Amino acid sequence: MKIFVGAIGKLKEPYFVAAEDEYKKRLRPYCTLTVHEAKDEAALLRALPDAAQLYVFDERGEMLSSAQFAELLASEAQHGKGDPIALLIGGADGHSDVVRKRAKKLIAFGRLTIAHRLVRILVLEQLYRAFKIVRGEPYHRD
């Protein structure tokens, strides 16, 4: 499975970089992961892989459990055409209406405002958790 995580802005803090590196390493056996940093939304959209199934993290999105997120990924893998899954993370101001309308689904981590750099780590962790759930491997607890 090919997964593209697109984010506005760069990770500068060493602790976020270390966390991202750890989850990238953990995800290697499960998917081909690309993490792309863009300076703005236009650049982020230009970087999207062709025919990507677009999911956008946005505070207005649907709140999913980890199991539901895992089901979403499993469904894409099973019913998709092999197209990459793109997960987009906005900058400090979130996403524009253009991006939200283009998305297959908006996903929220809740109604709290979370720093976009931290959301990036949360997305990677939830991807890892989702693969563990789908494969029935230990890590996730209900």
pTM of the model: 0.94
Query: 139 or 32, which is more confident?
Result: 32
User: Between β-strands 53-63 and 32-38, what pairing exists: parallel, antiparallel or unpaired?
Assistant: unpaired
pLDDT band at 52 (very low <50, low <70, confident <90, very high): very high
Q: What are phi and psi of 38, to 5 degrees?
A: -130, 150
DSSP SS3 for 6: strand
Tens of pLDDT, residue by residue over 62-74, are 999 999 999 999 9
DSSP category for residue 50: T
DSSP category for residue 17: H
Q: In terms of Cα–Cα distance, which of 92, 123, 116 is closest to 4?
A: 123
Q: What is the pLDDT of residue 82?
A: 83
Domains in the chain, start-ordered, CATH in brackets? 2-135 (3.40.1280.10)
Angle at 54 between CA 20 and CA 140, to 5 degrees: 50
Q: In terms of Cα–Cα distance, which of 138, 12, 132 is closest to 67?
A: 132
